[in-house]
């Protein structure tokens, strides 16, 4: 194939009248005459031929039959787009030694995972594009595939990128204290387990989608983007498509769920933008559910061997573990695929008072879909390692698991301090959270119920986890590594002539209630009814610069910026009011949309009157008073790499030892996310996170064959938790405001997902304990439970 084939070679496909722009496009391209009133629809649709192989050389591509299909506008291969899109590499400089090969939006010469785009078809409808994809003939020469992370480093394993010499992408060792001596000390009991975590994905309600348009008259590229970080995508599209950054507009309005899945660079979305530029017309791509399972990033694919030593009093003397994770054939751009493993090394054991800690992480390439950040990055693995070993050790020395934690958790009055891995910690409440958890779940009553049930042959279990959650990240997370990812967020507050408050923020709305939180903060600080606050988010052309939505930062960073902007605007308004009312500014306030006396609340002036005076009759104000009635503020965390939330959770389960099914009878979560701004939204964030954690613990797994074929790419085969399986989830809070901000808010969006799997793992093992067996692989499917019971 020498270049893209276009419908202009066949000008008699569609009936209708051409638009002026289509007419101009044709004349510019010198494409013949109209036949039978041909019309080319303005927006076109993309579909992809994707590799059916995990690893294969692309020998030839024959698109002749596809070119002749109705509605086809253009067809592109990887080599075609390589002339328009520069390759990208998913590395960060502060992850020393991380390597990845350059990646193209569409595979060039070699396909390296099942589902990688190989050919792009653009047609007048998605259905016609898919029809054309079906007749494309690609000759592949299958290559040996490295699909198993555990053998990817063997000398006999196929090397995915020959120049690297091996499939090792990154490794890191954390070694604090003297682990060997601590584990060998007299009177120390050592427990050791192998943990296996199943690869799974986010299953967002709305699939990935993008509509891209290019206006050559302005050299303007616009992307409507179902994603989380508009300003990040603005930089990426500018850099790799050769359009000035100020000429790239990314719009991310209300998004139907993200969970971290939609914060990465996907080749099919970049290809849509590139082709919009080439064709000078809108191009739409929406992943269907099959494509989502094949190509949305996966996560959690880890094999961990871990050990813990405890003394006779239950004091943890050392933790030692090795984490191996496979990430696919590339490190995801630009956030990289090493962050999850790095989080596991940083967060394991973080709530506990430890002196001896050793953690080794290895990240390997493999011929599967790429892995990267998904809700609660690394937390489910980190919490399961430590708290799974804690409860295993508690059984070994016959100490109650709650008491075991009380003897090891950091004291609430011991902050600021650092974790064993060096994480800076402050404003946490592990002991209070555990006490509250025991209270709300009625722990003693559940233990009594468990004993009675066991007498009847019913196997119930109770499991706990004490955890931390990374929130409100500083520039030390990504910015220092060279990624175009802002850790600050901006907010603007503006008073209009009618007295309404217009606010905009760089944080995006993904269904988590960001817009409601921002409106609540602005209304409360400025002094107007919330129904008079209008919110704009997600548009790089209209909102202040910022990072978007990720790492539970919306309220803590975006909310703080909004608080500061609303304060600044309020000061402006009161300064104007003081002049107009011949009063001192500090004697006035704004309440319910009017300037009032601060002491008694007597209304002095509606905000609309003040605003109209400023906007329409500024000559009535002193010449040295120049109110703008608008304020913008930015905020970032400066004193800590992250602001940590902490929590304690418990699960109550019943395991049917005949069928292997696990029923979750109850779940309790106590979280300290600092100041709770909107209790309903926070509680539902926690509950939603718990549900996703239940999915990872009991149901969800991307199942691959030995040769790298994903076997469950439909909702009928990939199990997600449904309403019928969900227990009552009781949520409670400790409020320890963060000292890093005035608002005092920490993040709350990921704790449930990060902690629930460990609590469920411990509950199931507590249920199985009388049968002298245990399970250490997630999801804990009926088959796997029956296997550890010796019944299959």
Q: With 0-12 CB in 10 A as exposed, 13-18 as middle and 19+ as buried, what is 181?
A: exposed
For 35-54, give one letter per residue: b (16+ CB within 10 A) or e.
eeebbbbeebbbbbbbbebb
Paired with 23 in beta bridges are: none
Residues 567 and 573: their CA atoms lie apart, in Å, by: 10
Residues 603 and 597: their CA atoms lie apart, in Å, by: 7
Residues 413 and 429: their CA atoms lie apart, in Å, by: 8
Element at 518 (helix H, strand E): helix 514-526
Helix, coil or strand: residue 345: helix
Give the list of residues 6+ apart from residue 623 with CB closer than 8 angstroms, or none.
Answer: none
- Euclidean distance between the first and final Cα of the chain, in Å? 53
Cis previous bond, 180, omega within 30: no
Residues 355 and 175: their CA atoms lie apart, in Å, by: 10
Ramachandran bin of 161, using left for φ above 0, alpha for ψ from -120 to 50, beta for the remaining angles? beta
Do you know the residue count of the chain? Answer: 792
For 458-478, give one letter per residue: b (16+ CB within 10 A) or e.
ebbbbbbbbbbbbbbbbbebb
- DSSP 8-state code for residue 132: H
* Torsion angles phi and psi, residue 162, rounded to 5: -55, -35
Give the list of residues 6+ apart from residue 761 with CB closer than 8 angstroms, or none.
Answer: 384, 388, 463, 697, 775, 776, 778, 780
- Are 642 and 477 spatial neighbours (Cβ–Cβ below 8 Å)? yes
Spatial strand order in the sheet of 168-176: 168-176, 357-364, 316-326, 302-310, 189-197, 777-778
Residues 524 and 493: their CA atoms lie apart, in Å, by: 13
What is the DSSP secondary-structure string of 463-502?
EEEEEEEEES--TTTTGGGT-S--S-EEEEEEE-TTS-EE
- Closest C-alpha among 760, 768, 747, 727 to residue 649: 760
- Taken in order of first residue, the domains within the chain and their CATH numbers are 7-32+488-635 (3.30.365.10), 41-143+207-255+261-295 (3.90.1170.50), 298-475+639-788 (3.30.365.10)
Q: With 0-12 CB in 10 A as exposed, 13-18 as middle and 19+ as buried, what is 33?
A: exposed
Residues 572 and 585: their CA atoms lie apart, in Å, by: 10
Residues 342 and 332: their CA atoms lie apart, in Å, by: 15
Strand pairing report for 729-733 and 662-672: parallel
Question: What are the distances in angstroms from CA 547 to CA 232, 252, 524, 535?
Answer: 7, 13, 24, 17
Residues 135 and 572: their CA atoms lie apart, in Å, by: 65
Paired with 643 in beta bridges are: 471
Residues 458 and 450: their CA atoms lie apart, in Å, by: 8
- Are 778 and 199 spatial neighbours (Cβ–Cβ below 8 Å)? no
- Are 365 and 147 spatial neighbours (Cβ–Cβ below 8 Å)? no
Give the list of residues 6+ apart from residue 775 with CB closer than 8 angstroms, or none.
Answer: 761, 764, 765, 768, 784, 785, 788
Question: What are the distances in angstroms from CA 659 to CA 357, 517, 614, 792?
Answer: 39, 45, 74, 11
- Closest C-alpha among 379, 293, 377 to residue 338: 377
Find the angle CA(695)-CA(699)-CA(703) to the nearest 5 degrees.
Answer: 120
Helix, coil or strand: residue 221: strand
Q: Report, in angstroms and rounded to the nearest whole number, the Rg of the chain calculated over CA atoms.
A: 29
Residues 464 and 440: their CA atoms lie apart, in Å, by: 13
At residue 41, the pLDDT reads 61
At residue 40, the pLDDT reads 53
Question: What are the distances in angstroms from CA 10 to CA 14, 72, 283, 448, 598?
Answer: 10, 9, 20, 78, 74
> Measured on CA atoms in the order 354, 194, 326, 324, is the torsion positive or negative?
positive
Longest dimension (CA), the chain: 92
Question: What are the distances in angstroms from CA 553 to CA 221, 300, 546?
Answer: 28, 22, 11
At residue 504, the pLDDT reads 98
- Are 611 and 498 spatial neighbours (Cβ–Cβ below 8 Å)? yes
At residue 79, the pLDDT reads 97
Give the list of residues 6+ apart from residue 325 with CB closer than 8 angstroms, or none.
Answer: 149, 301, 302, 303, 340, 341, 361, 362, 363, 364, 371
Residues 415 and 427: their CA atoms lie apart, in Å, by: 7
pLDDT along the chain (792 residues), means of 10: 39 32 37 39 93 98 97 97 97 96 98 98 97 98 98 98 98 98 98 97 96 97 96 97 98 94 97 98 97 97 98 98 98 97 98 98 98 96 98 98 98 97 96 98 98 97 97 85 90 98 96 94 98 97 94 92 98 97 97 97 97 94 92 93 95 98 98 96 95 97 97 96 93 96 94 97 98 98 98 92
């Amino acid at each position: 194939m020498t270049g893209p084939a276009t419908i202009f070679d066949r000008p008699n496909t569609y009936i209708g009248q051409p638009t002026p722009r289509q007419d101009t496009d044709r004349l510019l391209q010198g494409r013949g005459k109209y036949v039978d009133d041909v019309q080319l629809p303005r927006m076109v649709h993309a579909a992809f031929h994707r590799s059916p192989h995990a690893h294969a050389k692309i020998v030839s591509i024959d698109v002749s039959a596809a070119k002749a299909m109705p509605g086809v506008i253009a067809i592109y291969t990887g080599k075609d787009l390589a002339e328009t899109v520069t390759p990208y590499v998913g590395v960060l400089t502060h992850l020393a030694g991380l390597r990845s090969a350059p990646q193209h939006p569409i595979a060039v010469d070699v396909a390296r995972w099942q589902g990688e785009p190989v050919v792009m078809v653009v047609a007048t409808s998605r259905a016609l594009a898919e029809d054309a994809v079906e007749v494309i003939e690609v000759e592949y020469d299958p290559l040996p595939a490295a699909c198993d992370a555990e053998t990817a480093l063997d000398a006999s394993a196929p090397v995915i990128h020959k120049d690297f010499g091996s499939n090792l992408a990154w490794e890191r060792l954390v070694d604090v204290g003297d682990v060997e001596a601590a584990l060998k000390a007299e009177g120390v009991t050592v427990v050791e387990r192998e943990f296996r975590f199943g690869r799974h994905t986010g299953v967002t309600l709305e699939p990935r989608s993008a509509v891209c348009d290019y206006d050559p008259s302005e050299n303007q590229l616009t992307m409507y983007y179902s994603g989380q970080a508009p300003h990040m995508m603005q930089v990426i599209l500018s850099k790799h498509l050769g359009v000035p950054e100020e000429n790239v507009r990314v719009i991310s309005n209300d998004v139907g769920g993200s969970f971290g899945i939609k914060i990465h660079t996907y080749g099919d979305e970049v290809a849509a933008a590139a082709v919009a530029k080439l064709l000078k017309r809108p191009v739409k791509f929406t992943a269907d559910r099959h494509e989502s399972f094949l190509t949305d990033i996966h996560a959690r694919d880890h094999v961990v061997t871990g050990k813990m030593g405890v003394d006779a009093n239950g004091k943890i003397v050392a933790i030692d573990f090795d984490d191996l994770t496979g990430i696919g054939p590339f490190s995801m751009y630009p956030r990289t695929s090493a962050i999850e493993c790095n989080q596991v090394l940083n967060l394991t054991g973080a709530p506990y008072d430890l002196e001896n800690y050793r953690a080794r992480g290895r990240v390997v390439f493999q011929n599967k879909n790429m892995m990267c950040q998904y809700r609660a990055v690394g937390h489910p693995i980190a919490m399961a390692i430590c708290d799974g070993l804690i409860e295993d050790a508690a059984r070994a020395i016959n100490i109650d698991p709650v008491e075991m934690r009380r003897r090891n958790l950091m004291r609430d009055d011991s902050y600021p301090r650092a974790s064993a891995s060096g994480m800076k910690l402050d404003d946490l409440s592990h002991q209070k959270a555990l006490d509250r958890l025991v209270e709300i779940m009625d722990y003693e009553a559940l233990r009594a119920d468990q004993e009675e049930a066991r007498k009847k042959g019913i196997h119930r279990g109770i499991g706990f986890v004490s955890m931390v959650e990374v929130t409100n990240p500083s520039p030390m997370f990504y910015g220092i590594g060279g990624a175009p990812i802002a850790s600050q967020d901006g907010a603007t507050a503006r008073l209009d002539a009618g007295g309404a408050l217009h606010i905009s923020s760089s944080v995006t709305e993904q269904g988590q209630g960001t817009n409601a939180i921002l409106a609540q903060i602005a209304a409360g600080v400025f002094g107007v009814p919330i129904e008079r606050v209008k919110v704009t988010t997600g548009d790089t052309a209209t909102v202040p610069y910022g990072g978007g939505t990720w790492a539970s930062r919306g309220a803590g960073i975006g909310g703080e910026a909004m608080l500061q902007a609303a304060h600044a605007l309020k000061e402006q308004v009161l300064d104007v009011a003081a002049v107009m009312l011949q009063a001192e500014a500090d004697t006035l306030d704004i309440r319910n949309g009017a300037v009032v006396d601060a002491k008694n609340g007597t209304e002095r002036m509606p905000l609309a009157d003040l605003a109209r005076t400023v906007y329409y009759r500024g000559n009535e104000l002193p010449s040295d008073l120049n109110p703008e009635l608008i304020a913008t503020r930015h905020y970032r965390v400066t004193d800590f790499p992250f602001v940590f939330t902490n929590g304690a959770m418990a699960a109550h389960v019943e395991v049917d030892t005949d069928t292997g099914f696990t029923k979750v009878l109850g779940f309790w979560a106590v979280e300290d996310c600092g100041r709770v701004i909107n209790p309903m939204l926070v509680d539902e964030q926690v509950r939603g996170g718990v549900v996703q954690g239940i999915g990872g613990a009991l149901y969800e797994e991307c199942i691959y064959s030995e040769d790298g074929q994903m076997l469950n790419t439909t909702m009928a085969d990939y199990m997600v938790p449904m309403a019928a399986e969900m227990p009552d989830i009781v949520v409670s809070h400790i409020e320890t405001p963060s000292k890093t901000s005035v608002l005092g808010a920490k993040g709350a969006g990921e704790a449930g997902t990060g902690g629930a799997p460990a609590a469920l793992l411990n509950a199931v093992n507590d249920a199985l304990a009388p049968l002298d067996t245990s399970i250490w692989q997630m999801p804990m499917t009926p088959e796997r439970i029956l296997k550890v019971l010796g019944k299959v």
